[in-house]
Amino acid sequence: MTSILFTDARLIDPVSGAERRGDLRIENGRITPDGPAAHVVDCRGKCLAPGIVDVGVKVGEPGERHKESFRTAGRAAAAGGVTTIVCRPDTLPVIDSPEMLEQARARATVAPVRVRHMASLTRARAGAEMSEIGFLLDAGAVAFTDGVHVTQDTKILSRCLTYARSLGALVIGHPQDPGLSAGACITSGKFASLRGLPGVSPLAERMGLERDLALVEATGVRYHADQITTAAALLALARARAAGLDVTAGTSIHHLTLNVLDVADYRTFFKLTPPLRTEEDRLAIVEALAAGEIDIISSMHTPQDEESKRLPFEEAAPGAVGLQTLLPAAMRLVHAGHIDLPTLWRALSMNPARRLGLEGGTLEVGAPADLVLFDPDAPFVLDRFKLHSKSKNTPFDGARMEGRVIGTWVGGIQVFDREGADA
């Protein structure tokens, strides 16, 4: 591969927690020491950072290719500075066997970015029988999750966690009490009552997390909570860490930058799982992120077609696309003074890479040359029809945003170039 020297870059280093002006050289797909290069990229003082590792991406293959394919998800990721997407197993059929995982891995080769896969913890995500965790690990699964299908049978979940612990597998849970959250579509409170919508108490998240953490303590499994969105859940998380449990937590960029009032007059692009929270909860999660209590930010990219969203709010499918909007949405936290760029990039890149045992998330010599060059201050108005995703269900349509990707490199190969791009 041709060697490349990035000059006059604002280097964002999440490992050291610092940023500096300087140069970066890559060769043969890796970051290398200083030296001559065959090609020079003048960054002109723009930010150069490790590529984003996005955990929890929904791709519609197999079964829902009309919503999103590996090709379109890969293009959206590249345009958003995401160099690794970690896909959820909630496909049709579910990725719960080595054969299904191999099929997904074969299809994913069309994506211009790196693609890794999670597998389901239980067969068909039904919570009744354990998946083939050992064989799935051998086939390349990086974690196990049933997503929003919370296993209600505690005995079965305990057995799954015990077996996962024996293999060193990472289990990703969705903290939610299914009894309290059943049938709800919005966070309970005055706003939900005024809109006449069935709400779920934030207590459901805390109760779900408390149960999971009790089982983590009993089994010793490696555990990651996919979305912590309420202040009440942070106390349980802090206790688990103080007790020495191997626990990490994530949240979605939508819960960090939006609140329940954005639902306004039943805007279904703002219907998510879990639902958007109060502004007080949002700020509590932002503070937890800045303090390192929340480890990972993800897009929770969930494509839904127009027919699924153009329904009454209660009936509309939940979820939003986010691969291409993750970076500019995250820049809202920086511009508001909540967090600096190195700390942000720990949550976007370094922490997810380390938690999943992947290379990347660093600018250190020897690391993969997975990079994003971006202008943190470039303003634009988002047009959802210019997104590369097949589905266009973004809550940021028409929003004024700052932060645009200039170029993305995966293994030293440029997979996105802003010049001539249509989004």
- Per-residue pLDDT tens over the stretch 212-252: 999 999 999 999 999 999 999 999 999 999 999 999 999 99
Specify the amino acid at residue 361. Answer: G
For 159, the token pair is: 């057995």
Of 223, 240, 250, whose CA–CA distance to 348 is shortest?
A: 250
Residue 128: how many other CB atoms lie within 10 Å: 12
Are 156 and 128 within 8 A, CB to CB? Answer: yes
Whole-angstrom distance, CA of residue 230 vs CA of residue 209? 11
DSSP code string of 118-163: EE-SBGGG-SSSB--HHHHHHTTEEEE--TTS----HHHHHHHHHH
- What is the predicted pLDDT for the residue at 423? 40
HSE-CB of 244 using CA atoms within 13 angstroms: 2
Whole-angstrom distance, CA of residue 148 vs CA of residue 58? 12
For 124, the token pair is: 């068909």
HSE-CB of 150 using CA atoms within 13 angstroms: 23
The band of 419, judged by pLDDT with boundaries at 50, 70 and 90, is confident
- What is the predicted pLDDT for the residue at 420? 55
| Res. 422: pLDDT tops 80 | no
Helix (H), strand (E), coil (C) string for 279-328: HHHHHHHHHHHHCCCCCEEECCECCCCHHHHCCCCCCCCCCECCCCCHHH
Q: What number is the average pLDDT over the span 51-61?
A: 97
Residue 116 bridge partners (DSSP): 86
| Res. 421: pLDDT tops 70 | no
- Per-residue pLDDT tens over the stretch 301-339: 999 999 999 999 999 999 999 999 999 999 999 999 999
- Per-residue pLDDT tens over the stretch 133-153: 999 999 999 999 999 999 999
HSE-CB of 357 using CA atoms within 13 angstroms: 11
The β-bridge relationship of strands 371-381 and 296-298 is unpaired
Show the CA angle centred on residue 123, arms to residues 274 and 144, nearest 5°: 55
Whole-angstrom distance, CA of residue 31 vs CA of residue 49? 12
The band of 182, judged by pLDDT with boundaries at 50, 70 and 90, is very high
HSE-CB of 50 using CA atoms within 13 angstroms: 34
- What is the predicted pLDDT for the residue at 2? 82
pTM for the full model?
0.96
Q: What number is the average pLDDT over the span 332-355?
A: 98
Alpha-carbon torsion (93, 94, 96, 98), positive or negative: positive
Whole-angstrom distance, CA of residue 12 vs CA of residue 192? 41
* Mean per-residue pLDDT over the chain, rounded: 96
Q: Is 140 left (phi over 0), alpha (psi -120 to 50) or beta?
A: left
Whole-angstrom distance, CA of residue 31 vs CA of residue 298? 25
On whether the 50-361+388-399 domain is CATH 3.40.50.1820, my answer is no
Domain ranges of the chain: 50-361+388-399
The band of 166, judged by pLDDT with boundaries at 50, 70 and 90, is very high
- Per-residue pLDDT tens over the stretch 10-41: 999 999 999 999 999 999 999 999 888 999 99
For 349, the token pair is: 């890149």
For 229, the token pair is: 């969105």
Whole-angstrom distance, CA of residue 248 vs CA of residue 384? 33
- What is the predicted pLDDT for the residue at 398? 97
The band of 120, judged by pLDDT with boundaries at 50, 70 and 90, is very high
Are 85 and 74 within 8 A, CB to CB? Answer: yes
Residue 138: how many other CB atoms lie within 10 Å: 12
Residues 6+ apart with CB under 8 A from 403: 327, 328, 330, 331, 374, 375, 376, 377, 378
- What is the predicted pLDDT for the residue at 34? 85
DSSP code string of 5-29: EEEEEEEEETTTTEEEEEEEEEETT
